Amino acid sequence: MLAMNFRGPFRIRADRNRPEPEIKHPYDAIVRVTRSLICGSDLHLYHGLVPDTRVGMTFGHEFTGVVVEVGSGVQKLKVGDHVLVPFNIACGTCPFCKQELYGNCHEANPEATAVGGFFGYAHTGGGYDGGQAEYVRVPYADVSPTVIPQGMDIEDAVLLTDVVPTGYQAAEQGGIQPGDTVVVFGAGPVGIMAARCAWFFGAGRVIIIDHLDYRLEFAKQYSYCEAYNFREMDDPVLFLKKATDWYGADVCIDAVGCDATGSTLQNILGKQLLMEAGNATALHWAINSVKKGGIVSIIGVYGPPWNLVPLGSLMNKGITMRGNQASVKRLLPKMIDHVMSGRLNPKGIISHRFPLEEIGDAYHMFSTKRDNIIKPLLIPPRANVA
Ligand SMILES: NC(=O)c1ccc[n+]([C@@H]2O[C@H](COP(=O)([O-])OP(=O)(O)OC[C@H]3O[C@@H](n4cnc5c(N)ncnc54)[C@H](O)[C@@H]3O)[C@@H](O)[C@H]2O)c1
Ligand SMILES: [Zn+2]
Ligand SMILES: [Zn+2]
């Protein structure tokens, strides 16, 4: 089959001779992919920042597809179902799944204790091949995959596998109270969705910070928020203090994660020498620009090893920090309702559509932020076969 093939940092191609996945366990299903997306999280893999990313792996954790085969233990999914597949691989029965912490399943990932399993996310994520391919093996098929509701556009459905619930959870973790000022760092798909969802919780003011003007312009329109370029500021923390009567924001959301830019020291330590788990500049700014007693929500991804973050500010300001991988299955019913009722239009953030064959170009463009790219969609060759 045709599938993405990781050859090493910054080297990705589509290969035609990849082996088709097979059922390995009674709870598996095989899905023929109809759409998939590239995520900011895939860029951490592409840039070589995620440990144990093995040559030959297929990435992709945001996809929809048609079920073509099910294992003997699968009861709910049927051959022919068109499903959206949440990025978390979760067993559904362990103590963490029981608490709806589907991003922290204790069974799905033998390689890690912090996170559960993910499609296409290195061996750190469990070693499962992902959906930037024609076919994918979906473990625990009865747990998370969800039949696409009738009438829902497939391009909306594919965004429900990650970006929409993730943006929503970023806002939810912020504990936003009516009237709160919310600052979102990062105007990528996740930050844009977090800013948009902050209004659902009653935010009074939403500000987004990035250094890419085209994304800031997009966020202003899509998320109805204020948008500022940190390259035009002497100090983003000072700017945000000034903008909030010197109190600081009620809630800060880090929607950037370990691939941040904005600090030479952090770039050298975290991204060139790999002496910390990536570049924690956005988290720095979030902690330092939230008010005393405020909440910092971390949705941008960091690895478990240490990071240079201002713990003293956290302690002395009485800040609460919350973070997690999004629990997609927990949030899906609410997100489906938002989309079907027209309150959210996820596909509005898809800026580029590539045939799967051109995945190398898609990664390059998304990584270098060329051509005003926001969110790239991949279409496999037989995507529209009934
Ligand atoms: N927790 C989860 O479940 C989950 C799910 C999906 C994605 N993520 C993470 O969310 C983050 C964002 O994903 P995305 O798809 O939007 O990625 P993206 O790469 O498209 O966007 C990141 C944005 O951050 C901006 N940025 C860089 N440094 C910054 C700084 N110092 N301050 C403000 N903005 C800065 C970039 O210019 C870019 O626009 C990534 O870390 C990704 O791994 C987390
Ligand atoms: Zn993703
Ligand atoms: Zn579990």
Q: Tens of pLDDT along 116-153?
A: 999 999 999 999 999 999 999 999 999 999 999 999 99
- Taking CA atoms only, the protein residue closest to ligand 1 atom 22 is 188
Spell out the alpha helix ranges (H) of the chain. Answer: 40-46, 95-98, 154-159, 163-173, 189-198, 213-222, 236-243, 264-266, 281-289, 311-317, 328-340, 359-368
CB 76 within 8 A of CB 60: no
Ligand located closest to 327 CA: 1
Q: Tens of pLDDT along 167-185?
A: 999 999 999 999 999 999 9
Percent of the chain past pLDDT 70, that is, above it, reads 99
The token duo for 299 is 């949705």
Q: What is the dihedral of CA 272, 277, 283, 287, to 10 degrees?
A: -120
Q: What is the pLDDT of residue 386?
A: 53
pTM above 0.75, yes or no: yes
Residue 188 CA to residue 167 CA, distance in Å, equals 10
How many angstroms does the Cα of residue 15 sit away from the middle of ligand 2?
22
Show the low-confidence residues of the chain (pLDDT under 70): 385-386
The token duo for 20 is 């088709």
Residue 183 CA to residue 48 CA, distance in Å, equals 29
- Taking CA atoms only, the protein residue closest to ligand 1 atom 40 is 300
Residue 115 CA to residue 126 CA, distance in Å, equals 9
Q: How far is CA 252 from CA 83, 120, 248, 289, 368, in A?
A: 34, 29, 9, 8, 26
Ligand located closest to 257 CA: 1
Residue 135 CA to residue 120 CA, distance in Å, equals 13
* Count of beta carbons in the 10 Å neighbourhood of residue 135: 24
For the Cβ of 188 lying below 6 angstroms from any atom of ligand 1, the answer is: yes
Burial class (CB in 10 A: 0-12, 13-18, 19+), 62: buried
Q: Tens of pLDDT along 341-378?
A: 999 999 999 999 999 999 999 999 999 999 999 999 99
The mean pLDDT of the chain is: 96
CB 297 within 8 A of CB 174: yes
